[in-house]
Amino acid sequence: MKVATKFPGAKGRNFYGEVKKRVQQDFKDRNLDMNANGLMWLKAAIFMSLYIALYFTILLANLSGSVLALLTIVLGAVCAFIGFNICHDAIHGAFSANKKTNKALSLIFHLVGANPYVWNITHNIVHHTYTNIPGHDEDIEIAPGLIRIAEDEEHRPHQRFQHWYAFPLYGLASLSWVLRKDYKKFFQKRVGARENVHPGIEYFNLFFYKALYYTLFIVLPLIFIQLAWWQILLGFVLLHLAQGVTMGLVFQLAHVVEGTAFPVPNENGNMEEAWAEHQMHTTVNFATHSPAAAFFLGGLNRQIEHHLFPKICHVHYGKVSIIVKQTALEFGIPYHENSTFTAALGSHYRMLKKMGNG
């Protein structure tokens, strides 16, 4: 049985207490709500409109196979952007101050093949609490045995090639998620050190919404699209390859790059640093000055701010980041960031290569 990991409490004038006070005061001074603004609702409308338009065009427009393949790839990316921009904030309770609105928007996650209840456990509760702690944070378990990302993990000979084969594997992440991961996480006894005990309704939701998704993306295409069955299934795989690559790269660039730590607790389950300081050592921002990244990635390129303030809607992270960075510098705490997406990608590649070589 895994020992529950514990973080020491902060004492006196501490980083997290100070940065929270400053951020809250800034919202008060500017008379702003921490939840979604007009831009956020506009983004949600744009991505959902694209999703609906692409889905029904693919299903009903009787297009050539090559055009369908292109539209399917675009739909896969749009599904990832919906997850980043709408579902992620909603499941965190950051989209709206109204719990029912967040609940309704979180249901959209089913339409991209994922279960919001399981995600809340693995991501909101476990990953956000035990970030980058091997054996606890299952979000960093990309492909156990195939990809090595921390010094404490066993090194295997084939991993010297992982900086090449990791990226194609990211493409399989979404396919694994929709067909395997949610079931596995739901029925395993623990996620990290957290014991899984589920309300009865969630058993129904898991199977009902998965069946709905398979109907929308496998059964109906088999009925309406004038292609061979194997071409339909190939399209389903193509959709998830595009979705998986988009998701995989964004998530890995925030936690599995040079400069991030993978600390482990002592034999009693105690960590050396307070929780907020731990987040600053295990999390990295990237492409923070890119308008495109800000629009498409749902604040996941500002992962530091997201981990410290998951209840704040991501459209506010630009201003919040100024406060967080300044406060971190005052307290002598690192604030890791890569200036561009390509710089972060290069850092991830080099880390994979280093860990693969033992």
pLDDT tens readout for residues 300-310: 999 999 999 99
Which residues partner with 125 through β-bridges?
none
Say if residue 1's pLDDT is above 50: no
Report the pLDDT averaged over residues 232-236: 97
pLDDT above 70 covers a percentage of the chain that reads: 99
Measured CA to CA in angstroms, residue 11 lies from 16, 35, 273, 276, 345 at distances of: 10, 30, 12, 12, 37
Predicted local distance difference test score (pLDDT) of residue 5:
83
If DSSP codes are grouped into helix, strand and coil, which group holds residue 217?
A: helix
Distance, in Å, from the CA atom of 235 to the CA atom of 72, rounded to the nearest integer, reads 7
Q: What is the pTM of this model?
A: 0.93
Distance, in Å, from the CA atom of 12 to the CA atom of 99, rounded to the nearest integer, reads 34
Predicted local distance difference test score (pLDDT) of residue 136:
83
Report the pLDDT averaged over residues 160-184: 92
Quickly state the pLDDT bin for 30 (edges 50, 70, 90): very high
Report the pLDDT averaged over residues 171-185: 93
Predicted local distance difference test score (pLDDT) of residue 358:
76
Residue 16 DSSP label: H
Return the closest-CA partner of residue 296 out of 21, 47, 2, 95. 47
Write out pLDDT tens, residues 99-158.
Answer: 999 999 999 999 999 999 999 999 999 999 999 998 788 777 777 778 888 888 889 999
Say if residue 299's pLDDT is above 60: yes
Measured CA to CA in angstroms, residue 246 lies from 85, 137, 178, 274 at distances of: 13, 21, 15, 32
Distance, in Å, from the CA atom of 257 to the CA atom of 166, rounded to the nearest integer, reads 14
Report the pLDDT averaged over residues 178-204: 90
Say if residue 273's pLDDT is above 80: yes
Predicted local distance difference test score (pLDDT) of residue 56:
98
DSSP-H helix ranges across 149-228: 162-176, 182-187, 200-214, 220-224
If DSSP codes are grouped into helix, strand and coil, which group holds residue 131?
A: coil
Position 203, amino acid? Y
Distance, in Å, from the CA atom of 126 to the CA atom of 168, rounded to the nearest integer, reads 26
Report the pLDDT averaged over residues 54-72: 96
162-170's contacts with Cβ under 8 Å and 24+ in sequence apart are 162/352, 162/353, 162/355, 162/356, 163/349, 163/350, 163/352, 163/353, 163/356, 166/142, 166/352, 167/245, 167/249, 169/142, 169/143, 169/248, 170/142, 170/244, 170/245, 170/247, 170/248, 170/249, 170/252
State both tokens at 236: 């389903």
Write out pLDDT tens, residues 236-254.
Answer: 999 999 999 999 888 899 9
Distance, in Å, from the CA atom of 29 to the CA atom of 32, rounded to the nearest integer, reads 8
Predicted local distance difference test score (pLDDT) of residue 210:
98
Measured CA to CA in angstroms, residue 35 lies from 93, 109, 154, 317 at distances of: 9, 19, 43, 11
Predicted local distance difference test score (pLDDT) of residue 2:
55
Distance, in Å, from the CA atom of 142 to the CA atom of 162, rounded to the nearest integer, reads 12
Report the pLDDT averaged over residues 334-351: 95
Say if residue 202's pLDDT is above 90: yes
Distance, in Å, from the CA atom of 27 to the CA atom of 46, rounded to the nearest integer, reads 27
Distance, in Å, from the CA atom of 339 to the CA atom of 344, rounded to the nearest integer, reads 8
Predicted local distance difference test score (pLDDT) of residue 149:
86
Distance, in Å, from the CA atom of 257 to the CA atom of 264, rounded to the nearest integer, reads 18
Pick the more confident residue, 139 or 220. 220
Distance, in Å, from the CA atom of 358 to the CA atom of 356, rounded to the nearest integer, reads 5
- Angle between helical axes of 162-176 and 229-255 (0-180°, round to 10): 120
DSSP state letters, 29-93: HTT--SS--HHHHHHHHHHHHHHHHHHHHHHHS---HHHHHHHHHHHHHHHHHHIIIIIHHHHHT
Predicted local distance difference test score (pLDDT) of residue 276:
95
Task: Say if residues 276 and 16 touch (Cβ distance below 8 Å).
Answer: yes
